[in-house]
Structure 1
Amino acid sequence: MSTMNSCTFSILDHPAVIFLNERLTSSEETARLHTAHVFDFDQTLFRSPLPNPKLWDTSFVGQMVSWNNCGPGWWHNSATLDLGPEAESSKWNGWWNDDLGLNFDLIATKPTTAVQINTNASKNKTQNSDTCYVKIHTFSFKHDFLYNILFEYPSIQHMQVWDDRIGQIAKFHEAGKRWLEKKLLQTFKVIEVNISHRYMDPKRELDLVMAMIEIHNRQVGIEANGGPFLVSGAAPMPWTRPELQNLRLWDPYETYTPQKRVRMELGPVAQYTGILFSEGVQAFLKAIVNGEQVDGSGIKRPLALQGRDISKWEIPNDMHIILCLGAGQPDFLETIGGLGANVFVELVAVGELEGKIWALKVQEADETIVGEDLMIVAPNGDIHTSFESLSSSCSGDSGGTVGSTFDPNRRRGRVISRRKGTPYITLAYNRFQGIWSSAASKITRWESIEKTESSKRIILVGTIGETRLLGLKNQKHGHLAVVPRAEVSIANILKEHASEKDIPIQGPDLGQMIKSIQKEMDRLLTANRTANIEAITALAHATFKEYFK
């Protein structure tokens, strides 16, 4: 722990504060304060762009956002908020959370209220706040800073916090409970904020990330030649207030150890091999989610989701069917018909998981079906009532992007999952509840699509293809490296599962479970790679269940 300074601590000269309203220097003004409103900036007050999932390999995104990689990492890089001259000239219209902004402006006019913004980037689009500070680590730093606010301005008796991250909201509830017990506050409230994602211009994002990679690789060389190690963040939180000395609030600067940095080089990385759909078929599927179905489709939500408001759920940009993760091996590609093969997919059931995700169960369609009511969705979005009609309407043109055409003479693909799982298409999911589209693989109870006099069997035309995104090539290890970094965070899987089960998880318990999971992974020869995320998740959930039974 750092040595206590003899000088009096004050928020006014805190090294991480980048903006301070002059009224906070007046004892007369601060004596009137009785309420503090605390706004997170990224994805709460402002739609700070996230790394675009259409551009980057998932495992690389994890490293990109880490404060130990790519310079200071995505969230500490002020360039991620440089959205171009058009956005700036419009005062970032469309990027602000307008609903919360109106509340923010109203609150900021009250003389008895202190308004604080928490952000990661040193270049902040500060509105009418009293304080704005840069946090190095997320919750621990917020927690520590708010403690100081309460001691600095004891007249504050009420606090409201706006944040978007479920895990942090739970921790704020715990912190607020302690503040109430200690009589530091009379009331405390946390408000969860859910807003849609936005991404920066793809060209601008590519240039930004390439610059981040260059900075990272330059740092690898500096450290290899005996130069100073990079310590990310704006400034350490000085532990100078006596009241906080024994609270054991974590300061990352006190626990920092040199990282095993490796050089990074980007290249195309296979995400999955599966059945890809054209824009026309995608539009048909999205119409199902939005309740704008073509007559005869008759697909309803699963019973558990009927009547629920899912308007803020995430709809995948690219609906598909995963047959195997990564690039398919030659024997498997031969089994499913090879890249470029056309495949007919029938929608047979709907399913959901814990009220957080909606998916369609699919199966391979029988091309010999005749005399039944069929709704065959062609790549161009046209609807056909028979395979004969579909074939006769297609010219056999094989041009265009993968999945954009149908050639009746092309070899046929198969709907076969390499892991023998249920093939599915994710329609929508509630990312605000910490779930992702791949969670549909865990659905075990499916409800058959209801058959009525007017409903038809729905068949989609797709193409066997492979999706590649930019990610890390085989890394060249730096002087500190011993083994490649793990691609899957076991700790994050356990924390997410604990949050879903509403079971608090402590550091020692987390460490013990991680060790057990790693031991079992070694026994099963399961490498910590993104391709094995489903197996690792299953092991983590089983270990968690055993640990807390």
Structure 2
Amino acid sequence: MAAFHNPASANSKHSYTTTALKRWSCQEGELPATSTIKVLHIYDFDNTLFQSPLPNKQLWDATTIGRLQGEDIFAGGGWWHNKAILESTGDGLEKEEPRAWEGWWNEQIVSLVEMSMEDPEALCVLLTGRAEGTFGDLIKRMVKSKGLKFDMVCLKPKVGPLGQKFASTAKFKQALLDDIMWTYTAAEDIRIYEDRPSHVKGFNEYLARFNTLQKRARAPVRRPEITFAVVPVAENAGCLDPVTEVAEIQRMINDHNMLFRSGISGHSVPYQLNSFVEYTAYMIDPHTAGSLRALGHIPQSQRSSVNLKGDEIMICHRRADRDILGKVGGIGNKTQWRVTATGSLDNRVWAARVVPDPPSQRVQTLDNSDNRIVILALRSGLSRDDARMITNWQPVNEDIVFQSTVGEKDRISLVREPRPKGHNAPAHKRQRSEEFPPLGAMVPPNMRHGDAPQGQGNSHQASYTSRHNRDGFGGRGKGAGPRGGRGGDRGRGNNSRGGGGGGNHGQNSGRGGQQGYKSLDDVGGSGGYPAHTNNGYGGNGHKSGASGSFPYNY
């Protein structure tokens, strides 16, 4: 795990002036005089100020979600290193810029930035680990469209002003903060707004060490101890339109494979997309799912840290065989259910107990007949088995009846492209063929946004919704696991824009959050801000509660 390094490593020969400090920023204009600044306000960009899209949990399997965000999986970098993804936020750059990406900002943080702008004693800094060369101009256009003016807009450079190379986003941010605090020595207070718990912890530890350093002769500049507060901001991300998302990932794969075959990239594995049926279930539409979750009385304080569901009654894992499909009436068959009770277990899992309506209606479910449930929400790492442990069921007084549709839940996975027969493996380590089964390439035949070739796969249609989650450290893009890291470049938006950021967005808003996503970290505390709700999964919309239909077969 990356860590914030000790400020003592700073170059003692460095000149701490506003002229030198300005070299960190891609924002034009002179910096305020050092004598005028009393407070330092530092704002993170992704999912703090702006609700950046994350891979849609409803599209990809958990392993693929982690790999998409890895910095070293693709020759051109992953999700956070792809400018096209961020440009596609909402309805795309051309449409969103004139309307300032309405609905994609955390409006609470925007208000704080505006207050910082108006305070003559505050230095207002936007600080992000995205790559300066790739994202600098785009992010400046985005904040300008919103009417935000920062004294400094700082993205991660390939090399720092003194020729430094940064092993992680954390080290880059700490080096810049060193320079800011040693330049503005009259500043008595620093506030940092950050969505990732691991960075919140890292900043707190770093600032405590910084103050300790001032008491020793090792500090390059003598300055008073600084009061600090690192404010956790509840992450509030969105998702791309599902078709756009798959098309962009396919382009990333195409570019990667082309470089692989040319021998330029040095990467040893070509990729393709495959689809598979994760489970067959009685599917519940997003609006009904939101109403069911409301019955569960999930505490508002818990909503930012759980995976909100309520969208299915499980029939079986994977694709149902002919016998099971006969029992449930086939794909597309409608079934009516009645809610009889709700329950929870230790604020970790919430569920509703249901029965067919009328009771004589023939159904087939994974759960036994006296305990059929709809999981409403559960914490990361928990499963349906935990929901079965609920014993404290509370009867529902209302007469609540809803309808479901038998359907299949599809996932897409990133796998190694199978080698043609007789193909000689390269000199690097060979993979056993069974590690990458040739399941067939998955490319949507009617790709609206893409130039990807048509592929093969399972033939069925499905509806997708959205959510995400994260975990890990060291710039969102480091490694294939969790959220990887932001360290580099990042991604694009969806067709419905949804409401404003920050605070409680209401029942049909949602941060897209997926607990299996392992992005960077689960966001816990709200740092004094109302927790964001995750009630909507709109795969076709940023925070829409409506389902986004994925309009093609595999």
Q: Work out the CA distance in 2 between the residues paired with 1:322 and 1:31.
A: 65
Q: 1:110 corresponds to which residue? A: 119
Alpha-carbon contact 1:338-1:464 (below 8 Å) kept: yes
Output one character per residue of 1:182-212: Cα deviation in whole Å (capped at 9) or x when no partner. Answer: 4474311121222543334444434322222
Give the Å deviation of 1:332: 7.5
The residue correspondences of 1:356-371 to structure 2 (distance < 5 A) are 358-362=350-354, 365=356, 368=359
Indicate which of 330, 344, 350 corresponds to 1:352: 344
CA separation in 2, counterparts of 1:18 and 1:424?
A: 54
Cα distance change of structure 1 residues 59 and 16 upon mapping to structure 2, 3 Å threshold: farther
TM superposition shift of 1:441: 4.7
After superposition, residues 444-483 of structure 1 pair within 5 angstroms as: 444-450=389-395, 455-456=398-399, 460-476=402-418, 479=426, 480=428, 482-483=430-431
Asked if 1:220 is matched to 2:260, the reply is yes
Aligned to 1:254: none
Please give the TM-score of this superposition, normalised by the length of structure 1. Answer: 0.58
The answer as to 2:280 corresponding to 1:273 is yes
Q: CA 1:438 to 1:158, structure 2 compared with 1: closer, same or farther past 3 Å?
A: same
Summarize deviations over 1:250-292 as a string: whole Å, max 9, x none: xxxxxxxxxx642111232323333322x3xx433422444xx
Secondary structure class of the residue paired with 2:100: coil
Query: Can you give the 5+ residue segments of structure 2 that lack an aligned partner in the other structure?
Result: 157-165, 215-223, 420-424, 437-468, 474-515, 518-554
Q: CA deviation at 1:152?
A: 4.0
For 1:283-298, list aligned pairs within 5 A: 283-290=287-294
Partner residue, 1:53: 57
1:198 corresponding residue in structure 2 = 238
Distance 2:179 2:96 in 1: 35
Which residue number corresponds to residue 297 of structure 2? 301
Q: Is the 8 A contact 1:428 1:437 kept in 2?
A: no
Pair 467,288 (structure 1): closer, same or farther in 2 beyond 3 Å: closer
Q: Distance in 2 between matches of 1:5 and 1:182?
A: 14
Change (3 A) 1:14 1:356: farther
Q: 2:81 aligns with which of 76, 82, 103?
A: 76
Change (3 A) 1:105 1:342: closer
Deviation (angstroms), 1:181? 3.6
Distance 2:322 2:366 in 1: 15
User: Quick one: which amino acid aligns to residue 72 of structure 1?
Assistant: G
Query: Percent sequence identity over matched residues?
Result: 23
Separation in 2 of the partners of 1:95 and 1:426? 29
**Paired residue secondary structure (2:26):** strand
Quick check: which has more Rg, 1 or 2? 1
User: Residues 159 and 185 of structure 1 are in contact (CA less than 8 Å); yes or no, is this contact kept in structure 2?
Assistant: no
Which residue is 1:36 aligned to? 40
1:134 aligns with 2:139: no
C-alpha distance in 2, partners of 1:275/1:228?
A: 45
Which one-letter code corresponds to 1:472 in the other structure? Answer: L
Task: Tell me what 2:228 maps to.
Answer: 188
Q: Against the structure 1 CA distance between its residues 361 and 108, is the aligned structure 2 distance closer, same or farther, given a 3 Å change threshold? A: same
Number of matched pairs: 389
Q: CA deviation at 1:413?
A: 3.7
- Give CA-to-partner distance per residue, 1:120-151, whole Å, 9 cap, x none: 25231343122222247443433343234333
Q: Secondary structure at the match of 1:449?
A: strand
Query: What amino acid maps onto 1:116 in structure 2?
Result: V
* 2:541 alignment partner in structure 1: none
The TM-score with structure 2 as length reference comes to: 0.58
What is the distance in 1 between the residues matched to 2:247 and 2:238?
Answer: 18
User: CA separation in 1, counterparts of 2:190 and 2:59?
Assistant: 40
Which structure is richer in relative contact order (CA contacts within 8 A, separation 6 or more)? Answer: 2
- Determine the C-alpha separation between the residues in 1 that align with 2:297 and 2:302: 11
Task: Determine which structure has the larger helix proportion and give its number.
Answer: 1
Q: Aligned partners of 2:238, 2:94: CA distance in 1, in Å?
A: 17
Which of 166, 178, 186 aligns to 1:155? It is 186
Letter in 2 for 1:76: H
CA distance in 2 between partners of 1:57 and 1:352 (Å): 27
CA distance in 2, matches of 1:482, 1:145: 43
Distance in 1 (CA, whole Å) between partners of 2:196 and 2:305 is 15
For structure 1, the residue ranges without an aligned partner over 5 or more in a row are: 230-259, 291-298, 370-386, 388-411, 430-434, 486-491, 497-532, 535-549
Matched, 1:87 2:96: yes
Check 1:109–1:367 CA distance in 2 against 1; reply closer, same or farther (3 A cut). Answer: closer
Aligned CA RMSD, in angstroms, stands at 4.4
SS in 2 for 1:266: strand
Task: Give, as a single letter, the amino acid of the residue that structure 2 aligns with 1:129.
Answer: F
- Could you tell me how far apart the structure 2 residues matched to 1:199 and 1:168 are? 23
- Alignment partners' CA distance in 2, 1:208 and 1:94: 22
- What is the CA–CA distance in structure 2 between the aligned matches of 1:141 and 1:421, rounded to whole Å? 57
Secondary structure at the aligned position of 2:53 is classed as coil
User: Alignment partner of 1:221: what SS?
Assistant: helix
Q: How does 1:389-404 map to 2 (within 5 A)?
A: none
Q: Which amino acid aligns with 1:104?
A: V
Change beyond 3 A, Cα 1:285–1:211: closer
Does residue 1:175 correspond to 2:206, yes or no?
yes
| Alpha-carbon distance, 1:338 to partner | 6.6
1:320 aligns with 312
Q: Is 1:210 matched with 2:250?
A: yes
Secondary structure of 1:89's aligned partner: coil
Aligned mates of 1:207, 1:22 — CA distance in 2: 39
Q: Provide the residue aligned with 2:497 in structure 1.
A: none
Cα displacement string for residues 13-68 of structure 1 (whole angstroms, at most 9, x for unaligned residues): 789945145433x7xx1243332111110111111222233443433222111112
Q: Which residue of 1 aligns with 2:109?
A: 100
Out of 351-360 and 335-344, give the one that drifted further. Answer: 335-344
Runs of 4+ with deviation above 6 angstroms: 3-7, 9-16, 310-315, 329-338, 492-496
Q: CA deviation at 1:75?
A: 1.5
Contact 1:272 1:326 in 2 (8 A): yes
The CA deviation string for residues 320-362 of structure 1, in whole angstroms up to 9 with x for no partner, is 1345554457787788787566666554543335536533245
Deviation of 1:228 (Å): 5.6
Q: 2:37, 2:123 within 8 Å by CA — same for their partners in 1?
A: yes
3-state SS of 2:202 partner: helix
